[in-house]
Chains A and B, each alone.
Chain A
Amino acid sequence: MEKFKAFCIFLSFLFTFLLFMSILSLFLVPNPSEIISSLKTEEMIYSLKLSIATSLASTVLVILFSIPVGYALSRHDFIGKSIVKSILDLPMAFPELVLGLALLLLFGQSFIGKFLESFGIKIVFTKIGIVIAQFFTALPYAVRVIYSTFEGINPRYEFVSRSLGYGELETFFRISLPLAKNGLFASTIITFARCMGAFGAVLILAGGSYMNTEILPITLYLNISYGNLGMAITSGILLIIISFIAILIFEKFEGVNSSNFKKVESIRN
């Protein structure tokens, strides 16, 4: 075998081995009874529930927003389109902490925050803040996946539907959306996984306070700072399991539509 080829394959194995060992150590290092007792603590249950609830809420919001945005970016030419695209992509390259800081300033200091507050809606250091932070972290990914899904659908399907008497909106719901089904599913999974794992932005905007705005990544962070390794590892395991399930669901449908999977992969890399 050529030396370079052998070297590349060796590296892939080495990396996979290290990654696998690190995940495995998460499950092997702690004492099982400690994990079980950690799981049963009020804090862990609270954190898990809050994580799932906020992630579900933000996923729904993200998808509702990114479908029209992705569709508009794919189908329509409008003034400022390239600017919209670049700005939407920004948070992907942005450190999450900076995104959190930016959101904190927007909702805390600016007129928008004050305007919302006049209606009694508080965002900073609240559970709504968690959802907002997750929303902004995950939105760019969802928009990208949905955008490339619509890009992959020949607009002539829509033309045919229009010519057969269906208006713009009817065509969107009867043709475009059903054809984008797989991509929408993929982006939902990605979005949910991103929301579950969102940390930096949530910490800054929602505060990461004990048993109030505490989601799983925050639990991990808080407990590692107290030196409470059992609790930290348990929340880590929970996060791993959730992303594992997400990947499994994703892989299962990968066979149905591998092109979308590739799109998502290329976006994530």
Chain B
Amino acid sequence: MSKLSYLEVKNISIELGEFKLKDINLKVKKGDYLTIIGPTGSGKSILLETIAGFYKPKLGKIYLAGEDITNLPPEKRKMSIVYQDYMLFPHMTAFENIAYGLKKKIKSKEEIEKRIKEICEILNITHILKRNVKTLSGGEQQRVALARALVIEPEVLLLDEPFSALDVKTKENLRNLVKKAVKEYGTTVIHITHDFEDVWSLADRVAVMKGGGILQEGSVEEIFYKPSVNFVAEFVGTNVLKGEVIGKDENGLTLIKVGDTVVKSVDMGNGDVLISIRPEDVVVFYGEKRCKVKNIRRRGEVVEITLDLGGETLRSLLTPNMLKTLNVEDEVSISVDPNSVRIIKSLKQKISYKN
């Protein structure tokens, strides 16, 4: 095991009824914040609970700080877990919930109170400590659950879609609190989510799961700009387009012809290539008419438009006010920052367009 990986999951396979994990490998450095994303049923929660020790893997090993913990019971692993539905003990007050794990660790009452005070100040829940947990709002309950998990200063903090049940504003607030608390305690975190906001605002690294396996693992940048497989691209919403390198411009940027349009990229390449472009990086304007608007769809606060670049389809995210004059079948022009156009793969032979 390398010194760099603090938590290492090696070839883990497990079967639990309908769910299974196959040959999972994962390395997390100390202090890293890893998010795991993937569709429902991809085995994310099982992976987390296997790391926590609630399920015994059929094959494979788990190491923490170089020590094989595969057969260690959960209470000896020094990992704590926070679930989407809080799982606060209903027969205890907020304070008792937070103190639960600490009481096992330290005997001194003053010390327990001191530590609880610290974490509650960070998470801003000092005023609700005496309350019955059933009377707390979702956001408050989740902050108590986070306090309960963080106060024991776990080696690894496991978060299973912790913000999914909360409204947008509470989510934002909690993300900031988690960021602050994790930084304060230097905690290593594995966070399961299907909300990309979590990934962008919290994560250092991302793993994408599907069907019980990890498809790609890397930095946030890598996952979103250089998705290795079509599924990852589709799941994270990145455009993956086929293009042809036609040369370089005066600044040394690679010129890539995609359909009828030419985009510039900071990456090097030649011949036929696959490139990725994030939909939010595409700027749409009325200029030379090269792209046709195929579809306009409202998605919450933004609008997704689908453009036909002459054979290749590109999705772009716009704000609604840009749309007032835009209609389906209109012809527009696009521009993308060369930093946002990434060459993912060189295609050796000429590819034939399927559609």
Contact = CB atoms under 8 A, between A and B. Distances in A.
Contact of B74 (A157, A159, A175, A179): A159
A157 B89 contact: yes
Interface in B172-188: none
Contacts of A154: 85, 87
Given A165-B104, A165-B105, A179 B91 contact: yes
A160 B87 contact: yes
A168 B75 CA distance: 9
A166 interface: yes
Contacts of A175: 89
A164 B152 contact: yes
A156 B154 CA distance: 18
Nearest to B17: A77
A175 B85 CA distance: 17
A178 interface: yes
Interface in A114-173: 154, 156-157, 159-168
B309 interface: no
Interface stretch (B76-84, B112-120, B125-133, B230-238): B76-84
A165 B101 contact: yes
B104 A163 contact: no
A165 to B, nearest CB: 4
Contacts of B104: 164-166
B100 A164 contact: yes
Among A156, A164, A175, chain B packs the most CB atoms within 10 A around the CB of A164
Contacts of A167: 73, 75
B155 to A, nearest CB: 11
Contacts of B91: 178-179, 181
B52 interface: yes
Contact of A156 (B87, B105, B148): B87
A179 B100 CA distance: 15
Contact of A164 (B54, B80, B90, B158): B80
A160 B148 CA distance: 10
A159 B75 CA distance: 9
Nearest to A178: B91
Contact of B77 (A156, A163, A166, A178): A163
A11 B52 CA distance: 56
B49 interface: yes
Contacts of A166: 75, 104
A75 to B, nearest CB: 11
Contacts of B81: 159-160, 163
A181 B91 CA distance: 10
Contacts, number: 61
A165 B153 CA distance: 12
Given A154-B87, A160-B83, A179-B91, A165 B54 contact: no
A242 B131 CA distance: 39
B47 to A, nearest CB: 14
Contacts of B79: 163
B74 A163 contact: yes
Contacts of B54: 159, 162
A103 B49 CA distance: 45
A162 B53 CA distance: 9
A13 to B, nearest CB: 39
A178 B97 CA distance: 14
In this complex, the member of B53, B79, B100 whose beta carbon has the largest number of chain A beta carbons within 10 angstroms is B100
Interface in A174-191: 175, 178-179, 181
A152 B89 CA distance: 14
B151 to A, nearest CB: 9
A101 B53 CA distance: 48
Contact of B101 (A157, A164, A168, A181): A164
Between B74, B87, B89, B100, the greatest number of chain A beta carbons within 10 A of the residue's beta carbon is seen for B74
B90 A179 contact: yes
Contacts of A165: 75, 101, 104-105, 152
Contacts of A161: 89, 100
A157 B87 contact: yes
Interface string B13-54: 000000000000000000000000000000000000100111
Contacts of B53: 162-163
Interface string B134-172: 000000000000001100101000100000000000000
Contacts of B75: 162-167
Contacts of A162: 53-54, 73-75
Given A164-B148, A165-B105, A159 B90 contact: no
A54 B52 CA distance: 46
Contacts of B105: 165
A178 B100 CA distance: 14
Which 3 A-B residue pairings sit nearest by Cβ, starting from the closest? Answer: A164-B101, A162-B74, A165-B104
10 contacts: A156-B85, A159-B49, A159-B54, A159-B81, A161-B100, A163-B52, A163-B77, A163-B79, A163-B154, A165-B152
